Amino acid sequence: MDYIHLNDLEFYGYHGALPEETKLGQIFRVTITLACDLKKAGQTDDLAETVNYAEVFELCKEIVEGKPCLLIEAVAEKIAGRILKDYEAKVTGCRIQLVKPNPPIAGHYASVAVDIIRGVL
């Protein structure tokens, strides 16, 4: 299996269970791994034979910067669902890691995150 990685995409969204999160918003970072066959793209050098990662970036941006969700799990699920639907002919599975670097939690930590896998990686 071959993979396309989109690493540490950064967006500003309003997701969260606490009122200040949906009012003030915050940065979210997303890393996406797409399982797909890249052999033909590599042999032909043809964009039509692969997944256009610029399109995947825009799809992710639309979701993260769009309608707020209470849970980052729901945001990650929306991203995975759209990728698998929109690219069903080319993508057999995806892994979505969604990181919330600065949630309003008292204490010291680097970040909180969810990591989901859908389909076959």
Tell me which residues are annotated as active site.
100
Please give the C-alpha separations between residue 18 and each of 13, 39, 65, 98, 116, in angstroms, as whole numbers: 13, 46, 17, 18, 23
Distance from C-alpha of 87 to C-alpha of 81, rounded to nearest angstrom: 10
